[in-house]
Amino acid sequence: MPCLIDKGPTSRSVVWVVWSATARPGAAGVRLCGGCFVRRAARVPAAGRDRRPRRTSGRRAGCGPCGGAERRHLDEWIEMKRRQGARPLTLRGYRQLIKDHVKPALGRKQLDKLAPTDVRRLVEAKAESGLSAATVKQIHGLIRNALADAEREELMHRNVAKLVKPPALRREEAKVLTIEEAKRLLAVIKDDRLEAFWICALTLGLRRGELLGLRWEDIDFANGLLAAGKRWQNLGLVFPSTIGTPIEPGNLSTRWRATRKRAGLDWLRLHDLRHACASFLLASGASPRTVMKTLGHSQIGLTMNTYTHVLPDIERAAVDAVAKKLFG
């Protein structure tokens, strides 16, 4: 049953009825009440409203739907992102963050009652719980983006998440696959059904999604060229499942964990093969710009900053080579 709310003492004979969040501001008779959408109902004589919930100070009175405005906005925001073309894997990550971290803390909040303190406490609690700074930053970024859309649609006056500083990311020295470890991995994956997949990840530096979406028509065998990065197709995949459909990313991750365990490389993520490819190229004398093009980076700075751990060895080798030519 919709909750009937008295507009206030200045208009005693007007009742506002709370409707579903599927209504939109700007529709006839629609206004916002604490983050919920409400519609103006017919005038009711004062005698007929004696037993109905009243509000005399501009606050909600008995409005059950208002208690979950943030929760409903997040659900609608995810659906909006899907319609806008967000990738299934991206949407899955959003839903997981919302389910595990955002809704339990903020799901009962009204949008217009959400304060910077609420977001700050959530960010601090997640940081103290042992989550990585990167994950906490993702949570903060998701809330900021969702509230930015709410602000744009005039569901709230300001984006309170913008007033909260995300955690600083400490740059940790990445563990890099060595040539000896790579050889051990290659020995383990020999004759594996996905042997070619793992080899392409290691030697071409392709991302998981690029490999899973790779089609035979993307490969130019005559010129030794490959065009990755296109959308998934159900037919013509180079690395399909056993029944010819696209491999589910979760299944691939499970297969990779078993493969790296056999190689004694439990720390090695699948994405680390991409980093290993770049490191091997740089160590072999390839220019940073060549590595940038191989990895598909948009800027040379991204390549240089990501693989700074390899550069000192390259610089040392270059100096030694010049000294050898000058002094024999």
> Residue 318 and residue 324: Cα distance in Å, rounded?
10
> Residue 282 and residue 224: Cα distance in Å, rounded?
21
* The pLDDT of residue 167: 81
CA 89 to chain centre: 8
Tokens standing for residue 227:
């065009």
At 262, which helix (H) or strand (E)?
Answer: helix 249-262
Per-residue pLDDT of the chain (328 residues), as tens digits, is 333 333 344 433 333 334 344 444 444 443 334 443 333 344 445 454 445 444 433 333 334 444 466 778 899 999 999 999 988 878 888 999 999 999 999 988 888 889 999 999 999 999 888 888 888 999 999 999 999 999 999 988 999 999 999 888 766 556 778 889 999 999 999 999 999 999 999 988 888 888 888 888 888 888 777 776 555 444 578 888 887 788 888 889 999 999 999 999 999 999 889 888 888 888 787 888 888 888 877 777 777 766 666 556 666 666 666 667 666 5
Q: Which amino acid appears at position 181 of this protein? A: E
- Strand stretches in the chain, DSSP E: 4-6, 15-18, 30-33, 36-40, 219-220, 225-226
* The pLDDT of residue 278: 85
* The pLDDT of residue 142: 95
* The pLDDT of residue 182: 92
* The pLDDT of residue 39: 36
* The pLDDT of residue 55: 41
Superfamily of domain covering 179-322: Intergrase catalytic core (1.10.443.10)
Are residues 51 and 20 in contact, defined by beta-carbon separation less than 8 angstroms? no
* The pLDDT of residue 33: 40
Tokens standing for residue 23:
């209504």
Are residues 184 and 171 in contact, defined by beta-carbon separation less than 8 angstroms? no
Sorted by sequence, the CB contacts under 8 Å of residue 108 that are 6+ apart come out as 67, 68, 70, 71
Residue intervals in the chain for CATH 1.10.443.10: 179-322
* The pLDDT of residue 73: 87
* DSSP classification of residue 235: S
* The pLDDT of residue 225: 74
Tokens standing for residue 310:
């390899």
> Residue 317 and residue 40: Cα distance in Å, rounded?
77
* The pLDDT of residue 230: 52
Which residues partner with 38 through β-bridges? 18, 31
Residue intervals in the chain for CATH 1.10.150.130: 70-163
Q: Residue 124: helix, strand or coil by DSSP? A: helix
Domain 70-163: CATH class, spelled out: mainly alpha
Q: Which amino acid appears at position 15 of this protein? A: V
